[in-house]
Amino acid sequence: MSSTANFKVDPRLASILGDSYSSSEHALKELIDNSWDAEATEVRVTLPTILSDDPIIVEDNGSGMKPAEVRDEYLNIASPRWTRKGEKTPNKNRLVKGRRGVGKFAGLILASRMELETTALGIATCVEVDKEALLRDAKDLEQVPLPFATKEAAPNLHGTRIVLSRMNPNLNLPQPDRLKQILARDYGRETDFAILVNGERVFAFDVPGTTFECEVSLPNGATAKATYTVADKPLPAKHSGVVLRQGGKTIGKAHLFGLEAVDELSDRLRRRIVGEVNVPPDAIELTAAGGNVIESDKSFEHLSGELQKQFHESLTQTHTNEVNLAKGRWKQQMDRRLVSVPEHRRGIIEQRMNRLISRAYQEGEKDERIGTLVDLVLDALEHDEYWAVCNELHDTDRTDVMHLADALLEFGLCDLAFMGRQAKSRLDFLKSLGRLADNPDTLEKQIHKAIEKNLWVLGPQYSLMASNQRLATIAEQCGEAVIGHAANKTRPDLLLSQDAFHNRLLIEFKRPNYEVGRDDETQAKKYADWLKSRLQLSVDIVVIGGTTDPTLCDEYSGKRTQFSSYVKLIADAQASLDWMLEQLAEKP
């Protein structure tokens, strides 16, 4: 019987009109998701060859739909199945994939014509959807007539067949391998949902990488066949591992078959193994319910030991090949950089770089990240003599007194060289700090940031001091206690630091255009008294501003307090560094 049907438009249609799929394969996956929701156990996807006019066909053996279901539910756009029938399917208790009610039309991304034939309870229902007609009548979608026909079918037949034709010329056809990889993520481990793409079954190990096959003879005479892939990069934990199938049924969770006990392999490297092992029925003893392996079974123990060796060998082979290719890619770069390194250090550096590359690949790092890492490490090794000397000290035999003495001498020379480089860098820092202090618009907080991690500016006795959150809180409480909560505009910027011996230093920063005077001296005394009462320890105080009143006293209440200008602070620090450079230049 033939007639017509119409779409039924849900009010949510407007919210999904802009949705799209990132690729042809992802659009096609939506149709396979519908087969899952229909409780199919098998889906066959037929893809056309390049330059052919053949259609894409997706057919399953799911529950199918009755004519009324097609009219009232399938053609009800944006009315998802789960809102009508619940989150789980009725018989197989599958979590429903369709969440928006539009995936059924994903095929129209790929083709201009979609034909649906679905069979249930002895009736086959056929519907044709023409995208060009929909676009012409887009303003009144419910009025677009859809060819709709029903016919008798065998009572035991059920399922759905979708044919997509007149392919979109602006899109590439779905690629079988790519489609299998996408489907493998969700369905590769399902035991009652087989997907075949152009006749080839989709498995969990359909991921980019190197595939291996092997056979293991079991003590009971049976033969286990393993097919697995070492993926190009680590997989999520739930997608990695090798499943055991006995008589075609998956037993328990995915295994690593003892590979997790191999210490030299990182977790990320182990997560590159994915695949399955097939054994004949009754080849391995299972628990009473048949859902898991009895691990003391001799055949399973033998299988685990042999597969562990195979997996380890495959990982080592693949990893070694990748590392050798990487070393080849970066060898020219490394050789060019090593020319500037002393000859006696080149071998050590090359050895360390090879180890770095091997480890990075084992951890699954991307090429561009490894390249950046190689550059950074080479930069460090070229300019840091400490690394090579400390390496020599570590490797020196304690009984080799002469060698150890030479290494210690070299360490001292390296230390002097480092001090020289550091002194020059600190001079550059002081120039920048001077520009900041000369700017009248600079705020206390900005000066605070510049000096907080560079307390050597105040003198060598403060070089090893550091602040923390607790000290920052105490400094804030000190300011509030001395000047009150309401004086926000005049509240000073305070830094409280301490060294390993619990010596403490409080710095009050003033603006570069502010002159430190008698009022600040009085306030500093209040700081000292408040902090001493709270910390039970003496605290050195430094007040820094643009200029200072020359009549300020250096001593009161038995406590040392300093007042300084930024100009004097920078000049003193620069003089100290200049002296150090002069002494280093005169060393023999």
pLDDT in tens, 139-175: 566 666 788 899 999 999 999 999 999 988 888 889 9
Backbone angles phi, psi at 174, to 5 degrees: -60, 135
Across the chain, mean pLDDT equals: 78
In CATH, what number does 203-294 get?
A: 3.30.230.10
The answer to whether the CB of 99 falls within 8 A of the CB of 79 is: no
Under 8 Å between Cβ of 552 and 563: yes
pTM tops 0.85: no
Delimiting residues of CATH 3.30.230.10 domain(s) in the chain: 203-294
Mean pLDDT across the stretch 6-26? 53
d(CA 21, CA 11): 22
CATH of domain 2-197: 3.30.565.10
Sheet holding 555-556, edge to edge: 493-498, 504-509, 539-545, 559-565, 555-556
Weakest mean pLDDT among 251-255, 320-324, 529-533:
320-324
At 59-92, the pLDDT tens digits run 999 999 999 888 887 777 655 665 566 678 889 8
Confidence check: pLDDT of 430 > 60: yes
Q: Rounded to an integer, what is the distance from CA 205 to the centroid of its chain?
A: 22
* Integer CA distances (angstroms), 213 to 47, 123, 229, in order: 27, 46, 9
Mean pLDDT on 506-534: 86
Exposure string over 15-53, b if 16+ CB within 10 A, otherwise e: eeeeeeeebbbbbbbbbbbbbbbbbbebbbbebbeeeee
pLDDT for residue 13: 41
Residues 302/285, Cβ–Cβ less than 8 Å: no
Burial of 405 (0-12, 13-18, 19+ CB in 10 A): exposed
Q: What is the CA radius of gyration of the chain?
A: 38
At residue 498, the pLDDT reads 81
Helix (H) or strand (E) holding 215: strand 209-217
Query: Which range among 152-156, 329-333, 393-397 has the greatest average pLDDT?
Result: 152-156
Query: Is the pLDDT score of 469 beyond 90?
Result: no
User: Is the pLDDT reported for residue 49 higher than 70?
Assistant: yes
Q: What letter represents residue 306's amino acid?
A: E
The pLDDT value recorded for residue 170 is: 84
In a 13 Å sphere around the CA of 292, the CA atoms on its Cβ side amount to 6
pLDDT score of 118: 95
What pLDDT shows up at residue 220?
92
Amino acid at 311: F
What local confidence, expressed as pLDDT, does residue 151 receive?
Answer: 93
Residue 265 has φ and ψ, to the nearest 5°, of -100, 130
- List every span in the chain annotated with CATH 3.30.565.10: 2-197
- Asked whether the predicted pLDDT for residue 186 surpasses 70, the reply is yes
364 or 245, which is more confident: 245
